[in-house]
Amino acid sequence: MIWHIATKEIYHHFMTLRFALMIILLPLLFVANALIYGLGDDGYAVQNNAYNRYVTQNDAHIKENANKSLAELALVGPGELPKRPSRLTFCAHGADEVIPRSVMMKSERSTSRTRGIPDEDYAWRHPFSLAYPLMSSYSKAPQRIKIDWVFIGMLMSFFAILFTFDAIAGERSRGTLSLIMSNTVSRGQVLLGKYLGAFLTLMVPLVIGILMNLLAILLTGSILFDSSDWLRILGMVGLFVLHVSVFIFLGLFFSSRVSNAITSLVWLLLTWVCLAFVFPSLLGTFVGNLKPIPSVDAVSMRKRVQLGQIDAEWREGPSPKLKKAPAIERPSVTRRWATYFTAISDTETQIADGHIDQQFRQVQLARDLTQISPLACFQYAMEGLANTGVVSYMNFVKQARRYRQTFTDFIKTEDRSDPESLHIYPVKEGLSQKPVTPAAVPRFTEHISHESVLVPVGLLILFNLLFFIVAQISFLKSDVK
């Protein structure tokens, strides 16, 4: 009986204008998605070429300074660390146009004229530090709607409403619901049959669109998938299933609560707008105003003040601590410079890391609160599988920090193997002056993590169970006439 009701619903949906609209619109959007992200100005091929150029430049930078000396490499650092572009950006673009695509291991040079020492003419280079760009140049481009799978998923939730708003209310107003219930069929079977009918109808254009999308990408040859990519794509199809299912149950709930289809549609549209736009925007604004993050100017001012205090303590005043330049023949002087450089490096690191960590905590709180919406859960889960969005950048920054420590440990280990070195880090004169093999220098490698997917997927499953139970109870208590 359940399958009989489902097939009846499928046949009914196939004959409607809304299905004709969806069977045309969805494949067109999927094909447009493949062309935009495969061949567009900022598609994967363009991003990957830029990433490869960054990697080549970084290797050349390390090789050039490693051939000079270990001390030179220690101070200038490994250079810019680019973030690897995701092959699945077309599935979930995230906010990648405003998220930096690299972090900098920068080193500043000081001149003797502007920042010299009292007794000698000496120019030095500060040890490298990790710097986080505020945003990429792509954010200056005109904003446009991102036709990715997340956007299409939002349309799918809207179509789920259109296919279920009259599933029960329409039958009741036409008088056919009481006729159905006069047979030996339970209300649970009717509800499940209508659910399957709407679900399978929605899956037809979705599957067609996804297949056309992937086929277009493969034919253009712009993106070459590996086995892990195919598994993640399969997982995203599963997310579509959970996402669409939530709104089908939601539509059945409202359809069973009201007496006519128009009222059901109005309530569903209001709920959809709130879940898609109102709640995320309000909660994001609330979190932003709850604890405002200091501006870049304020952070820069605090940095200048603290660095000025360190300079005043070590190099200025009537009796500065740094009267002579560091040298191999002056180990005690070199150690004092190491203490000075360490104080500067620790201050810069603390301020830079603290500022971006504040931003990350605010973003994470906003994400946690907005996950009351199934649409937000779907978006975050898609971004997690695609390795895009803010969480992807947060993981990238954490790995860059670990690499910073790995690189520093490598320098210290290599320096200990040179008996002629003073082994005083991070002063150039206190480290080994011998070159180091470029191939031995550790390179940065980004590792993809999908831990952020677990919570939104769990919430989508929970939403399905909750709305199924609510729809079932509502239908059991409703009048068939």
38-50 tens-digit pLDDT: 777 667 888 888 8
Structure tokens, 142: 């005109």
- Residue 313: which pLDDT band, with cuts at 50, 70 and 90? confident
pLDDT band at 379, cuts 50/70/90? very high
Is the pLDDT at 142 greater than 60? The verdict is: no
Residue 177 tokens read as 């619901």
Residue 105 contacts residue 129 (beta carbons within 8 Å)? yes
Classify residue 118 as exposed, middle or buried by CB count within 10 Å of its CB (0-12, 13-18, 19+): exposed
Q: Where are the domains of the chain?
A: 1-481
Condensed to tens digits (0 to 9), the pLDDT of residues 241-281 reads: 999 999 999 999 999 998 889 999 999 999 999 999 998 88
When pLDDT is cut at 50, 70 and 90, the band that residue 137 belongs to is very low
What pLDDT is recorded for position 238? 97
Q: How far apart are CA 423 and CA 147, in angstroms?
A: 55
Answer with the residue of higher pLDDT: 267 or 134: 267
pLDDT band at 139 (very low <50, low <70, confident <90, very high): very low
Q: What is the mean pLDDT of residues 344-371?
A: 92
What pLDDT does 144 receive? Answer: 58
Sheet with 129-131, side-by-side order of all strands: 79-82, 102-106, 129-131
11: left (phi over 0), alpha (psi -120 to 50) or beta: alpha
Residue carrying the six token digits 């409403």: 161
How many angstroms separate the CA atoms of 450 and 386, rounded? Answer: 9
Q: Say if CB 79 and CB 57 are below 8 A apart.
A: yes
Q: What is the mean pLDDT of residues 180-203?
A: 89
pLDDT at residue 54 above 70?
yes
CA atoms of 73 and 404, how far apart (whole Å): 13
Q: What is the mean pLDDT of the chain?
A: 88
- In this structure, which amino acid lies at residue 80? E
CB 187 within 8 A of CB 181: yes
pLDDT score at 123: 76
In this prediction, residue 117 carries a pLDDT of: 63
As a whole-number percent, the residues of the chain with pLDDT over 70 amount to: 93
pLDDT recorded at residue 134 = 66
